[in-house]
Structure 1
């Protein structure tokens, strides 16, 4: 069982201030509108809550296998600060973590998350191999590939008979994920999810149409299939059929499901904690091994900056539309044509707090299958520390441009950059 984390270290290798400012400028924010605050250097013991008047709390979780342990540390910090999400959105491992949060009572959530991630860990004998500097990572990764993880997935023998052997649409994968279905059935209460106390949304890719679909507890009853579909990453895991449609992991289309919040109808004032576990910035690789790692980071960070830039621009236009309508004579405002145009505007304000998991020394393209106890523990602890510092600073408090409906808070080593 994973214990309560109390980290005493803080990673500082997530990019320079100049690189962060460059990213924020790409969202359309002028340099003079970017502010900087220093983050606490130690993990605070007293954390601030998010004022209710700022709107709903949304937790958005990327996909990324073992990297998802960082998300659980982030949630633990929120939980201990009394900041519980009204809405949890996830893809792949993010959907699994999201279902464990939404599918349990407040007092049981951390216990269930710890239980799940304890089951994901390799056995002690594999951890013993981790003591060898060169053999450790290789041994743990080979164990995952050849034996699977008992509570998650196991090899599908038929898949290794040949690439052209017919397996069936719902079995065409190198691994069988029925162990995950059993694990989720023990740890997630879908009656609670379908009671709609905490909204849950999970993204999956339609195999036939290549379209993203978000399964949303607000609009439909959810079950294990929806979680499994969101995490069915091909060719490792087989597709999942739901209502006649076949679905794969949503991360192959969009691994940053924050778009679900911006496209929601009706939109609401929100504080959105977007927990990103793939680093969009990185060094130029000069070996094939490094190329494989950097390619994966780029692929699964899912153009997060460009997504945010687009949403920031669109949301500002919504505010501008509302302001322009207000400036019209009252008689004009009441005409059908103006009312129709006014419907495109809104005055909702969204604070997006972007938490970015750091790289660790020795990370490579296999980091998302590093289910070693040490790997899980250090990512969990770092997520907890990073989020605790952000909560202490509370960057969403303050005065902001009234026309700016999208305020981006970017947490980086030692600093919080705010664009808005």
Structure 2
């Protein structure tokens, strides 16, 4: 019997996916990108993110009202601090705002635990900032009950299990997700942000394993073709060589967190060719009366179904929207000054418009034709 490729329960010819990276205050750029995508009436079947990208994804998929872009912008303007003067240069503003955040925290995002007796033994502290304020702020802009509606976009957020060192994935199709699960993806230990305990698991930021959770999307929905939008907060290329240690750390951080999905796509092409070969071999065996050993052939048939049918979709297109960077400052992702947040939102809007219009030649990548010959 010929095996037909089963259809996923998602509607349409393909799923439209938005993948959002982590990057602290740089997440305001993702807000601007999404404003443009919503303006162009692009609707998503899956929104995936990690760290601040997971928080943005939660507001997009589970916003309290029916205007996710408005919700998201209001959230970011709430996080913005208004103490740092807006007239200062971008570099000075970033330095002052990040220093203020490191000392005083951000009342809507994270609170320092400085003034405690344990401060006398600084290195006994497992973290320096409590992330509870961010959880409370997130609750103001979300209604997680919306995720139960099958017509609602699917939310996927990733975090890292401290003890096992493995990825922990929360998927609204399979899990009940609330603010606690989303916040679990945002505990970045290098900035001293607290972990989150869910059941018996202690969870850190998902960026420790991957800052672009495309593979997690593929694994979550392996049978449906996809058109993917990726927002890249960390530039691939920087022409200038670092001039000092701070710039070296900054560039290394960019490289660690930038989009690395090219490897995933290359591997999907290799796997697709292998699946095509397996299918041809299966059809030859099935049609040539070589299946005299019924038991062995039924096992082969089952394994063929798992390999070739249950993972039989293609990535049709990836559109990358990448933040440009004029000033290289190590703690730019801790700059919550109102001027910077507004500028990031504007930059995201403009870059997304350019990507959709085809003006950014690096943004639009056709991964395959619509023929079923490049499966993942």
How far has the Cα of 1:77 moved from its partner? Answer: 1.9
**Structure 1 residue 79 corresponds to structure 2 residue 38:** yes
**In 1: Cα distance, 2:221 partner to 2:54 partner:** 21
**In 2: Cα distance, 1:316 partner to 1:389 partner:** 34
Q: Please report the TM-score for the alignment, with normalisation by the length of structure 2.
A: 0.83
**In 2: Cα distance, 1:349 partner to 1:218 partner:** 21
Query: Which residue of structure 2 aligns with residue 418 of structure 1?
Result: none
Structure 2: gaps spanning 5 or more residues: 1-10, 359-363
**In 1: Cα distance, 2:274 partner to 2:203 partner:** 34
* One of 68, 76, 96 as aligned partner of 1:139: 96
Query: Which residue of structure 2 aligns with residue 216 of structure 1?
Result: 171
1:225-272 Cα deviation digits (max 9, x unpaired): 111110011142111100111100011111111001222354211111
How far has the Cα of 1:223 moved from its partner? Answer: 1.1
**In 1: Cα distance, 2:90 partner to 2:67 partner:** 37
**Structure 1 residue 127 corresponds to structure 2 residue 85:** yes
**In 1: Cα distance, 2:91 partner to 2:137 partner:** 32
1:387-398 equivalences under 5 Å are: 387-393=352-358
**Structure 1 residue 228 corresponds to structure 2 residue 183:** yes
8 A contact 2:222–2:313 mirrored in 1: no
**Structure 1 residue 242 corresponds to structure 2 residue 198:** yes
184-193 or 353-362, which deviates more: 353-362
| Corresponding residue SS for 1:162 | helix
Query: Which residue of structure 2 aligns with residue 361 of structure 1?
Result: 326
Query: Which residue of structure 1 aligns with residue 308 of structure 2?
Result: 345
Structure 1: gaps spanning 5 or more residues: 1-51, 407-420
State the number of aligned residues.
348
Superposition RMSD on alpha carbons, in Å? 2.7
| Corresponding residue SS for 2:164 | coil
Change (3 A) 1:402 1:224: closer
8 A contact 2:21–2:50 mirrored in 1: yes
1:95-131 Cα deviation digits (max 9, x unpaired): 00000011126732112101110012121x3134x42
How far has the Cα of 1:292 moved from its partner? Answer: 0.9
Q: Please report the TM-score for the alignment, with normalisation by the length of structure 1.
A: 0.75
Change (3 A) 1:86 1:400: closer
Query: Which residue of structure 2 aligns with residue 282 of structure 1?
Result: 238
How far has the Cα of 1:328 moved from its partner? Answer: 4.9
1:55-77 Cα deviation digits (max 9, x unpaired): 11111111111111222222222
* One of 376, 382, 387 as aligned partner of 2:347: 382
**In 2: Cα distance, 1:399 partner to 1:241 partner:** 44
How far has the Cα of 1:338 moved from its partner? Answer: 4.0
